[in-house]
Amino acid sequence: MRRTLRGACVLLSAVAPMIAIPSARAGDAIAPPQQEAASALVEIPSWTVRLPKDANVVYKGEVSFDSAGKGTGSMLYPAVSAVTMLAAVVTHALLVESSKSRQKDNMQEEADKVLIPYQSVLGDYKHQELMQRGLELTSTPGTKRLIQFSEQVGADWVVDSVPVFWITQDQSAIVLDNSISVHPPSAPSTAVSRYTVRVVSNARGETDLAGYWTAEGGQKLKEQSAGLFAQSLDIALGQSRGATSKSDEVFRTVRYRQGKAEKMERGRLIGAHCDRIVVKTLRGWFMSVPVVRNEADIGADDQCAHAPGS
């Protein structure tokens, strides 16, 4: 509690002057977290994917934090001086934030229990294996190679990628969130484009889903993960090269499947293929998701049965 109060006092000392002195830069725009390239890259003759620092691929159990922070209670503030009241408000905010953080940790820990049947596969699944297989599945033109994080880049365009996978609680689908940045050969430490790409696999209908994903050393899980990774790279590099369609400028509510659950996202349609769509969301993410369709249509598009997201 003493640490929390000290933190409140430090924050109060920084906040209090703002009450009396308006900021001289109040009109400055805040840069969005995701920046697109200023100009399209017409061609990438050769490009290199750089492995992350951490060797193991990260998998988590799907969890929704929408309810985090609810039920933390409210506080009534006595009629005292403005400074005392501000200190009480800041202290309460710190306590609420700490409570929400603990609640999120507990929710994630509970959600991760879905991974228990997969430990024999995931414990030794490395980025080297995931990304090498993923590169072989990409459709972006140009020669491509994989290098270690500390390896010299050379004259290629460089792609940094930090993938995180989620297994839905019903175990029917895998979701990838991939943070991708593209660097030019002349400045390998400076990204000209940054993207967050989410790719949701089509749901599986097997009775024993854990057995399906982990059979033969996790072959199906690894194949699916590599396919999602390949899709995310193609989407990001397609945007960098200006190769992705941008015909639909209207933002709309998109209904899609995440496992056996139906979800919605507000976004702009970028492309569609094999009963899947790619949208750019209001928050700037790119998403490749299976669309909601009538049960009678399932199986009608057999040529897409082996698409990376299927």
Grade residue 47 by pLDDT with cuts at 50, 70 and 90: confident
% residues pLDDT > 70 (the chain): 66
pLDDT at 41 over 50: no
pLDDT at 217 over 50: yes
- Give me 31's structure tokens: 């840069």
**Highest mean pLDDT: which range of 40-49, 228-237, 289-298:** 228-237
Q: What is the pLDDT of residue 220?
A: 97
> Strands 46-50, 157-167: parallel, antiparallel or unpaired by DSSP?
parallel
Q: What is the pLDDT of residue 104?
A: 87
Q: Please tell me which residue, 293 or 284, carries the higher pLDDT value.
A: 284
Helix, strand, coil abundance in the chain, percent, nearest 5 = 35, 25, 40
Q: Is the pTM of this model over 0.75?
A: no
Across residues 268-293, what is the average pLDDT? 90
Grade residue 255 by pLDDT with cuts at 50, 70 and 90: very high
Return the DSSP state at 111.
Answer: H
Task: Give the length of the chain.
Answer: 310
3-class SS letters over 201-223: CCCCCCCCHHHHHHHHHHHHHHH
d(CA 199, CA 197): 7
Across residues 26-54, what is the average pLDDT? 58
The answer to whether 12 and 172 have CB atoms below 8 angstroms apart is: no
Residues 6+ apart with CB under 8 A from 107: 63, 65, 68
Average pLDDT for the chain: 78
249 three-state secondary structure: coil
Q: What is the pLDDT of residue 268?
A: 92
Burial class (CB in 10 A: 0-12, 13-18, 19+), 1: exposed
pLDDT one-digit tens code per residue, 180-202: 999 887 776 777 789 999 999 99
Q: Please tell me which residue, 264 or 68, carries the higher pLDDT value.
A: 264
- Give me 239's structure tokens: 């945007």
Residue (of 223, 243, 215, 207) closest to 309 by Cα position: 223
pLDDT one-digit tens code per residue, 135-172: 999 998 888 899 998 888 777 888 999 999 999 999 99
In which residue are the tokens 């490749």 written? 288
- Give me 277's structure tokens: 């769509």
Q: What is the pLDDT of residue 15?
A: 40
Residues 6+ apart with CB under 8 A from 114: 61, 62, 167, 168, 169, 171
- The amino acid that residue 305 corresponds to is A
d(CA 43, CA 277): 24
d(CA 65, CA 143): 41
Residue 152 neighbours by CB distance under 10 Å: 7
